[in-house]
Amino acid sequence: MTIKRLRIIELVVFFAAASSVAAQTPPPPLSVKPLRGGVYWTQGGVGGNTGIIIGRNGVIIIDAKTTPDSAKEMLSAVAKLTDKPVTHVILTHSDADHVNGLAAFPKGLTIIAHENNKKEQEAALAAGGPAAPPRDYLPNQVVAKDKESLKIDGVRIVLLHFAPAHTSGDLIVFLPDQKIVFAGDITATNHPFPFIHLDKNGSSEGWIKSAKGIAALDADTFVPGHGDLQTKADVQKRLADTAERRAQIKELVAQGKSLDEIRKTLGDTENPPPGGAYRPFTEVVYKELSKN
């Protein structure tokens, strides 16, 4: 069996497990919170945080929830803010909890994503299964550069890809006029250290590079893929903590320590969630550095 086939199977297993967990655990209710300059963010519902940008004539959504029902709830909340139609969706990465709600969105949207995000969705679609992304809503405008500056409906948006981090297709959405960053799961705060998809060619070294790039932006509000709003100081602290932990693991790998020995030395009790696509940060770094 090829590595590519194995990765596709891992994705299917992970998304199925994640969907099962989501179905068993009632999510918190959806809430919409204002930021500034016609920009809002949502927490709750099924799936990651989302962004809402009200433009001159339409609405730009950042990430799309996991399920159609949750996406419909979010879109209903948007309709209470404005009667302008949703015209664009920007995806921060390809995980199902940020993509699969697109099935409830209107047709004919401009769906923007990094080119590797589209490749990852196409692989998951080819593998099939209930967690595959909606076939009619694959990205139709891809970002192939490290930086792309756009003006959508009167709103200045800078799209950034510093390196493979959480996945190979991460996309950071920077609003320079509002000084707001939507960074997806690169800055998710629901775990002590970053979650990295090795099966999607994510990288701990790339995560550090990306976090440095995010922290250097002229912004003061950072919206994570999961968790509460962050300040620049919050992002800098998570970066420092992660870089320090990676350096500790690197030193222990150089000493010939096994993964179990490293986890014991560091007091690492983090366990992977069901499905296996996410691995604990210590294991990710160990595999990267030891080639095991």
Average pLDDT, the chain: 90
Q: Residue 142 falls within a domain, yes or no?
A: yes
The distance of Cα 283 from the centroid of its chain, to the nearest Å, equals 20
Q: State whether the Cα torsion 131-162-38-238 is positive or negative.
A: positive
Tokens of 263: 């986890």
More confident residue, 233 or 19: 233
Q: Residue 31 falls within a domain, yes or no?
A: yes
pLDDT bracket for residue 227 (50, 70, 90): very high
* CA distance linking residue 110 with residue 63, whole number of Å: 13
* CA distance linking residue 137 with residue 88, whole number of Å: 12
Residue 271: predicted pLDDT: 74
Q: Residue 181 falls within a domain, yes or no?
A: yes
Residue 34 has pLDDT above 50, yes or no: yes
Residue 146 has pLDDT above 70, yes or no: yes
Residue 127: predicted pLDDT: 92
Residue 82 has pLDDT above 90, yes or no: yes
Residue 260 has pLDDT above 90, yes or no: yes
pLDDT tens track for 106-131: 999 999 999 999 999 999 999 998 88
Residue 278: predicted pLDDT: 72
Q: Residue 291 falls within a domain, yes or no?
A: no
> CATH number of the domain that 181 lies in?
3.60.15.10
Give percent of the chain above pLDDT 90: 82
Residue 17 has pLDDT above 90, yes or no: no
Residue 272: predicted pLDDT: 67
Q: Residue 270 falls within a domain, yes or no?
A: no
Give the DSSP H/E element, type plus range, for residue 286.
Answer: helix 281-290
Write out the residue range of the structural domain in which residue 211 sits: 3-231
pLDDT bracket for residue 230 (50, 70, 90): very high
Least confident span in 16-20, 183-187, 286-290: 16-20
Residue 277: predicted pLDDT: 59
Q: Residue 22 falls within a domain, yes or no?
A: yes
Tokens 């609003």 locate to 175
- Write b or e for each residue in 214-245: b if 16 or more Cβ atoms lie within 10 A of its Cβ, otherwise e: bbebebebbbbbbbebbebebbbebbeebbeb
On whether the CB atoms of residues 200 and 162 are closer than 8 A, the answer is: no
Tell which residue, 248, 223, 256, has the closest CA to residue 98: 223
* CA distance linking residue 66 with residue 54, whole number of Å: 22
pTM above 0.85, yes or no: yes
Q: Residue 254 falls within a domain, yes or no?
A: no
Q: Residue 24 falls within a domain, yes or no?
A: yes
On whether the CB atoms of residues 218 and 181 are closer than 8 A, the answer is: no
On whether the CB atoms of residues 216 and 75 are closer than 8 A, the answer is: no
**Total domains in the fold of the chain:** 1
* CA distance linking residue 117 with residue 83, whole number of Å: 30
What 3-state DSSP class applies to 87? strand
